[in-house]
Amino acid sequence: MQLSARELAEFLDGTVEGDPEVKVSRPSRIEEGGAGTISFLGNSRYEEYAYTTTASILLVSQSFEPRQAVSATLLRVEDVYGAVARLLERFGSDNHEPAIVSELAFIHPDADLGDNIAVGPFSVVEAGARIRNGCRIKAQVFIGKRVKLGENVTLYPGARILDDCEIGNNCIIHSNVVIGSDGFGFAPQEDGTYKKIAHVGRVVVEDNVEIGANTTIDRATMGATYIRKGVKLDNLIQVGHNVDIGENTVIAAQSGIAGSTRIGKSCRIGGQVGFVGHIEIADGTQIQAQSGIASPIKKPGQAFFGSPAIDYKNYIRSYAVFKKLPELYKKIQELERQISQQQDASEQGPSS
């Protein structure tokens, strides 16, 4: 696919400075460029590359004022990063396979497939599964009994959607995601062993959710584990049984959420954050990476850091003191030594 600067300006609501008919076929990093590519400048730290890039078109903000000559055609937009997101979607929109069901796929006769669906080789669609229009199922995907997929769902190779789970419209499930595995539930016995607790619930993933590779989402013990509309989960995240993640919350890699925890809407959670079970997190909460959340957060819009987590600003102030502890400890030792010497001198009295 080739697009001219003029066509891209119409698509992105931008303006062109330079050759409006120059064509590009793919995006590129500003440091690498290349003829026939479009790059972008969204951070002033990379401005030096604007004057050396070999990209044919450079996407910049309306306020950008070059200090040197720029060889690329400039495409000015109000929001560079928003335009980049739309641009990448446009260039990636024709990367799906055609609507072909591979002869090497197994589709149960009782499965219900809509129109314009692709199923890759060695994928399995079990009995009672319902797959709506426009879905793209890559190779070696497993779709269990009575699973429901909404429209335009993409399942990358190795994804597993287990029995009775539900995926909404326009979701992207990356490779080796497991949705609907049993939760971690065991009842201790008098003899010290553990008896497995059956999990008979399901997972409901609502519309416009993206789930990164190797993330696992456990089915509910009873009822459902919920991933609400617009949630974005990174790679390698563990979501326990009966968890409820609110709309438009984003969670970075290697975070873990224990069972029955409820996370509010529009939260931002860094990597390697751990949540204990059975707590609620208020809407708009921000949590720094590697924090541990051991108690509920009731007030919306707060930021936290540390393990156990405390108010973000308090943590930063506390850490500034923590770094000085070795120095402060030496001072305390010196003061103790001086006090001890004074006490010894006082006990000995004046010399004769």
- Which sequence positions are flagged as catalytic? 241
Q: Identify whether the C-beta of residue 144 lies closer than 8 Å to the C-beta of residue 130.
A: no
Beta bridge partners of 23: 4
How long a stretch of residues is the chain? 352
CA dist., res. 6 & res. 22, Å (int): 8
Establish how many alpha carbons lie within 13 A of residue 32's alpha carbon, considering only the half-sphere containing its beta carbon. 7
Question: DSSP code of 160?
Answer: E
φ/ψ of 271, rounded to 5, equals -70, 150
Q: What does the DSSP assignment read for 265-294?
A: TT-EE-TT-EE-SS-EE-TT-EE-TT-EE-
Q: Where are the alpha helices (DSSP H) in the chain?
A: 5-12, 47-50, 80-92, 312-322, 325-348
Cis preceding linkage at 109, omega within 30? no
Token reading at 29: 């990093």
CA dist., res. 334 & res. 339, Å (int): 9
CA dist., res. 108 & res. 130, Å (int): 11
